[in-house]
Structure 1
Amino acid sequence: MRLKHWFESWLPALALACWLGMPAAHSEEIVVSNYGVSASGMPFAIAMEKGFFDGKVSGILSSQGGGTTVRNLLAGQIAYAEVSPIAAATAIRQGAPLKIISNNVQTVSEFGWMVKPDSPIKSIADLKGRKIGYSSPRSVSQALAMLIVEKAGLKASDVELVMTGGLGEALVALDLGAIDVAPATEPLLSKYRDKYRIIATADELFPSMSNVVGVTTDAAAASRGDFLRGIVTGRAKAVAFMSDNPEEAAQIVAKVYKLDPPIVLEAIKHLTRKGEGLPYWSTGKFDLAGLKEMWRAQILVGAAEGEIDWTKLIDVSFLPEAERSLK
């Protein structure tokens, strides 16, 4: 009886000790394409550091490309992923049980096109007969290269598009003279703007083109509403923080992305310019015009085909009521 009494008296304390030593019951990993590399994922670094996810996220997994991220989402126990809208829409059209729940990036403002300092190319009007680099077939950089040619009033045959295998590799190809124009994205754009000359930026040419969305599975949407709303809300807080506190945000992102803080600060200032058009990082509200323009761009490179009704792929219920309209 004494042993039983001792055990019962200490049971609450033992339970508390065990609970304190365990990770939170609802803390789990999420997937963000190219996290630690692409500017699109920077708000997640802020949200993790500042605790904006309220302990719901234990870690962030990175994966290369939208297709890989979608496969990871469908194959594992992961409830949320940040991915390209084209990868998400294509998977849904093929029967994947997915829902798009937030519009995370509204433009391709992270892109710019660089030439050597002594290049005779001053703007996209000078591209005729030139070699323009892009990373890989069906990539956003290939689609944007084709749209630049279109913007310049040229035909596809007026330029030569050259695959470089990556954006870092494109700058090497530019140095070697294999191409005349190299695409670059933030933070590379800010890192090398003193070495090369920028002839155009995407925010000048393509003001609305949604490039990244938040995605979940049908099963998680039905059973994990609080978790998903916490992710969307926490990321939105991070976007606001980056705009209001760029210096502190740069210090946080620099550690995750392994870059010098001044370079990250330059990138954040470039992408969070207040009152200068559509913001790069969205708090989640959908921009249908931007999604449609991205789909059209991907059709140009064979990564998408046919018409698509985005409203049938989107679930706005995880956004604040004020941001649920679809325009």
Structure 2
Amino acid sequence: MTMQTDTNRRIDRMAVLAGAALFGLALAAPASAEEIVVSNYGVSANGMPYAVAMEKGFFKEEGANVTGILTSAGGGTTLRNMLAGNAPYAEVNPNAVIAAVQQGADIKIVAGTVLTVAEFIWAVKPDSPIKSVKDLKGKKMGYTNPRSTSQALATLVLQSGGLKTEDVELVKTGGFGEGVAALDIGLVDVTPIPEPLWAKFQSKYRAIAKASDLLPPMANVLGVAAGAGAAGKDDFIKGVIRARRRAVDYMAKNPDESGDIIAKVYSLEPAVARAAVRNLISSKTNGIEYWGAGYIHMEGLQRAIDVQKMVGAISGDIDTAKLVDTRYLPDDLKALR
């Protein structure tokens, strides 16, 4: 979601290092089962394959006895939970990973899980005079929070229509659901509505911009492991990645059944979950799928970093090659793309 929905942009250095220390101490106690951590699981579209993998038994079949999926509302919190709770694997957005690494955390990107931002739609009321991005000049455009993904993407969307951020009034709504409410009462003229919210509300609003049409592929969320702290858990992490890959393939072949599984975990109407799955499974951005099999798309990762730098969420030089560890990937996915 998840470049996911609202994320924590800063990770307290002491919390990270203390969590890492706890992580290392916990290695002394062997465990046959593990929890994993997924940002915005049960809310954002990024985590949907994990629900399918859990329900279909793919984790156990691939040798990863996942006993539960922990979640949090932001990338920074996800990483703290991963390190302090001894979780071998997490899914989180790129800027949270980079912020953690820059503050000393031993974290590696081990899989590319969501490769585009195709879940994002910018919508208006049906009777709005706004027909395209070019019509947004002088209008009020919603976004969730400063330095958020939605703020960064708003900049790119405006650029696609030949506009600058100063050509509109950017209005902080505090969340995507809150943005929908703001649109209803006229506080904003346009707001981002990501999946699965869009599948729920698409009959009520009109899309004027779709990320899959306007924006290039960029790393949305990533699978990560705690670097050296993951020693001894290679098989588990590999199993998680294989199981998630199977789930993505299963969703493509069985979108309605997958939607029904997701509906239970996400507390959605089955029709809404089915529509969200179908929308995202069929999405291609310059030939790149939304839910990736696990391969790491380096161009998309660099683009995500560049976008976050635009809104000040990331600073400094980033050597992306040093962030990546492909040893957990199946052989056919190890080549960087």
Partner of residue 290 from structure 2, selected from 264, 280, 296? 280
Q: Work out whether 1:63 is the aligned partner of 2:72.
A: yes
Tell me the secondary structure at the aligned position of residue 48 of structure 1. Answer: helix
Q: By how many angstroms is 1:146 displaced?
A: 1.0
- 8 Å CA contact retained: 1:80, 1:214: yes
Tell me the secondary structure at the aligned position of residue 327 of structure 2. Answer: helix
Distance 2:31 2:59 in 1: 14
- 8 Å CA contact retained: 1:66, 1:87: yes
Q: Work out whether 1:303 is the aligned partner of 2:313.
A: yes
CA offsets, 1:114-148, max 9 Å, x none? 10000011111111111110011111011101111
Q: By how many angstroms is 1:307 displaced?
A: 2.8
> How many residues align structurally?
304
Q: Aligned letter for 2:90? A: A
Q: Work out whether 1:30 is the aligned partner of 2:36.
A: yes
Query: Aligned residue for 2:228?
Result: 219
TM-score (norm 2): 0.88
CA offsets, 1:257-292, max 9 Å, x none? 011111111111111117772110001101111111
Query: Aligned residue for 1:77?
Result: 86
Query: Aligned residue for 1:318?
Result: 328
- 8 Å CA contact retained: 2:147, 2:308: yes
Q: Work out whether 1:47 is the aligned partner of 2:53.
A: yes
CA offsets, 1:67-122, max 9 Å, x none? 11111112221111110011012211221011110010000001000100000111
CA RMSD of aligned residues (A): 1.4
Change (3 A) 1:147 1:97: same
Distance 2:95 2:31 in 1: 33
Q: Aligned letter for 2:213? A: E
Tell me the secondary structure at the aligned position of residue 324 of structure 2. Answer: coil
Q: Work out whether 1:196 is the aligned partner of 2:205.
A: yes
Q: By how many angstroms is 1:219 displaced?
A: 3.2
Q: Aligned letter for 1:295? A: I
- 8 Å CA contact retained: 2:157, 2:215: no
Distance 1:135 1:145 in 2: 10
Q: Aligned letter for 2:147? A: R
- 8 Å CA contact retained: 2:155, 2:164: no
Structure 1 residues 1-327: aligned runs within 5 Å: 25-54=31-60, 56-273=65-282, 277-327=287-337
Q: Aligned letter for 1:33? A: S
Q: By how many angstroms is 1:25 displaced?
A: 4.8
Displaced runs of 4 or more, over 3 A: none
Tell me the secondary structure at the aligned position of residue 138 of structure 2. Answer: coil
Q: By how many angstroms is 1:308 displaced?
A: 1.5
Q: Which runs of 5+ in 1 are unaligned?
A: 1-23
Q: Aligned letter for 2:185? A: L
Query: Aligned residue for 2:7?
Result: none
Q: Which runs of 5+ in 2 are unaligned?
A: 1-29
Distance 1:27 1:283 in 2: 24
Tell me the secondary structure at the aligned position of residue 146 of structure 1. Answer: helix
- 8 Å CA contact retained: 2:34, 2:66: yes
- 8 Å CA contact retained: 2:283, 2:290: no
Distance 2:330 2:283 in 1: 22
Distance 2:41 2:94 in 1: 16
Q: By how many angstroms is 1:156 displaced?
A: 2.1
Structure 1, 317-326 or 302-311: larger mean CA deviation? 302-311
Query: Aligned residue for 1:21?
Result: none
- 8 Å CA contact retained: 1:27, 1:56: yes
Change (3 A) 1:274 1:300: closer
Distance 2:77 2:284 in 1: 35
Q: By how many angstroms is 1:221 displaced?
A: 3.2
% identity of equivalent residues? 53
Tell me the secondary structure at the aligned position of residue 100 of structure 1. Answer: strand
Q: Which one has the largest radius of gyration?
A: 1
Distance 2:216 2:147 in 1: 21
- 8 Å CA contact retained: 1:28, 1:58: yes
